[in-house]
Amino acid sequence: MKNYPSIGIQIPCIYLPRPGIDLAKWAVIACDQFTSQPEYWSKVEELVGNAPSTLNLIFPEVYLDMPGKDERIQHIQQTMQDYLSGGTLVPHDGMVYVERSVSGKTRKGLVLALDLELYDFNKGSQSLIRATEGTIIERLPPRIHIREGARLELPHILVLIDDPECTVIEPVGKSKTHLNKLYDFELMAGSGHLNGYLVDDPSIETGAVTALEQLADPSTFTSKYGIGMDQPVLLFAMGDGNHSLATAKAIWEKKKAQVGMDHPSRYALVEIENVHDEGLEFTPIHRVVFGVKRDIFSAMQATFQPGYSFTHCQDQSAMVARVCQSTGSSQIIGVVSSQGYGCVEITNPTSNLPVGTLQTFLDGFLIQGGAEKIDYIHGEQVLYSLGHTPGNIAFYLPGMNKSDLFTTVILDGALPRKTFSMGEAHEKRFYMECREIA
């Protein structure tokens, strides 16, 4: 493999399905989507049937709390072996230039491998590759259990670069006619179109690498953000899949003393995207609390008194408008329940962002037995549907300006967990490429 240690990347050997396999059945959406909609995954299973598919190589999180977890993991690991030995997968050396068109937008990316030695997900990290939100350590063990015995990794990880001049990914796209097209097909369930090109032209690869090296130059970095030379460079910031990359890191730290520093598990396959890509949108991640057992609003009033107030809204449009038009130091969070719509206003927030203030409260509320569970929802319609269900309470949160991400992480550290999403649920990354890690 070709390594560029100064910027923490490796040019990978990736595996793709052999010609003739139905790619519309091969590619499925990230495993952490539609976790409150098992009917989505049932439809995926029905569509895939017995065809070769990444569905057989991943563990949809909707099933994590259901019986048969160990058997499912054994099936995943055996299927990986079968796909490798049976000729289902074919190797290709090089980065992959990706175009994903969905909801009238097209995002561009490069699939490559990142060096986990240069990644640290812990609070206060100053590493070249950095988490943008808090990592929930308790969420890692089931992911570790799945990955530890796996021959392959399949990324739904999206990592961001801050490239306002569009020097890294966009020039590769302009040269795509000189590259070998690997795939071109419609994704399932109305999730758009996916194109991929093998970056096997040395000059195009060199151009992308050189541009990344320039972004990582300390003088360029300090000038861009107006900070001192003592600030370590942040080149890669997590977008989606934070816990998947943290899982890869945890396994690497556990095994590197036994396997040596040249082992493939030192690296993790990801897709990098430019935060300034016009096709990339940041959307808020809302919250739904299930099985509410006591008055959540009385608990909020007790927590934030005297800075708490609640007002009813006539409809969802009025609620959304009040949340999105909020200015000043007060934080306004929308509420959806079986009783209708409303807004909570907090004048003494505990975090700089409404999502942080709300999450801290909800964590304590659940620990005290106030509800059964919480889920993180991307789409508004799903939020409204779940929120209107008796026994549930949904919270509608404002979005975050994507241009603020790097500066915020550099100056303030990681954001509260589940602060933003790169698109709605159906726009999330689909599993396509594989890489050997064992």
What letter would DSSP give residue 164?
T
Distances 352 to 328, 376, 384, 385 between C-alpha atoms, Å: 11, 20, 26, 29
Residue 418 has pLDDT above 90, yes or no: no
Burial (CB < 10 A; 0-12, 13-18, 19+), residue 329, is: exposed
Based on its alpha-carbon atoms, the radius of gyration of the chain, rounded to whole angstroms, reads: 22
How far is the C-alpha of 124 from the C-alpha of 126, rounded, in Å?
A: 6
pLDDT digits (tens, 9 = 90+) for 90-118: 999 999 999 999 999 999 999 999 999 99
Task: Tell me what pLDDT residue 29 has.
Answer: 98
Of 128, 270, 100, 131, nearest to 212 (Cα)?
A: 128
Give the model's pLDDT for residue 386: 96
Question: What pTM did the predictor assign?
Answer: 0.87
% of the chain exceeding 70 in pLDDT: 100
pLDDT at 329 over 90: no
pLDDT, average across residues 208-220:
97
Q: What is the dihedral of CA 386, 135, 14, 62, to 10 degrees?
A: -30
Please give the average per-residue pLDDT across 264-284, as a whole number.
96
CB atoms within 10 A of CB 422: 22
For CA atoms 310, 312, 318, 320, the dihedral sign is positive
